[in-house]
Structure 1
């Protein structure tokens, strides 16, 4: 699927989502996309998902109205993140397994306050996806 078609799919999805965290979801999305021009997006698991060269590395989880989660993962094949590969001195990530971690955001202010750290972690994660 072409980049513009995928972006249109994500826009359509977000327009019909009616999520209480809409503004935060959109800010999180634009922050991730602004991290690296190679990042593409699509809908996966009923939420915006991000990929580089066809390999998905991050997917939003939008199940709760009061917050949203960004799950960083290593794709469909089970593999472990190499020990020490992700520098997270502020311990912003909650590790869910050797191949995935999550970051929960409470709203627009939370995403805005963490933008620089988020982009740094996304860049690191992309190097292993």
Structure 2
């Protein structure tokens, strides 16, 4: 995983969370999903970027699960004209352009890992502005 950040490594060493193993497994899966994915800390949690723009951020509260927030960057963007086809069925839409995936435990992470990796790449590629 060449895209690992020292800041995130430090954060993970200090993290005290009941689902830390799940967080590490998700982190590895996301970074391995596409060579263009990088990471940093955002909202006091690991966040995954594509072309230097945050797209998927871990939410570590409540502590009995792990959530991935699928968003379109650090700044709010209009939902006008935005659409996304979730072929995985994993996303729970919390706004017109923001969704959440909730993972309860390691069994859930393992069962959804392949679909989640594809979903992350699909999200990042489809929400990144064309150059």
Global fold match (TM > 0.5): yes
Q: State how many pairs are aligned.
A: 124
d(CA) in 2 for partners of 1:122 and 1:74? 12
| Cα deviation 1:34-60 (Å, max 9, x = unaligned) | 110110000000000000111110000
| Unaligned residue ranges in structure 2 (runs of 5+) | none
CA distance in 2: counterparts of 1:105 and 1:68, whole angstroms: 5
Q: What is the 5 A alignment of 1:96-111?
A: 96-111=94-109
Normalised by the length of structure 2, the TM-score is: 0.87
Q: How far does residue 79 in structure 1 lie from its aligned partner after superposition?
A: 2.9
Give the ranges of 4+ consecutive aligned residues of structure 1 lying more than 4 Å apart after TM superposition: none
What is the correspondence of 1:1-129 to structure 2 with a 5 Å cutoff? 7-75=5-73, 76-80=75-79, 82-83=82-83, 85-88=84-87, 90-127=88-125, 128-129=127-128
Task: Give the TM-score normalised by the residue count of structure 1.
Answer: 0.88
Q: Where do 5+ consecutive residues of structure 1 fail to align? A: none
SS of the residue corresponding to residue 62 of structure 2 reads coil
Deviations 1:59-83 (A, max 9, x none): 0000122101000000113132733
RMSD of the TM alignment (CA)?
1.7
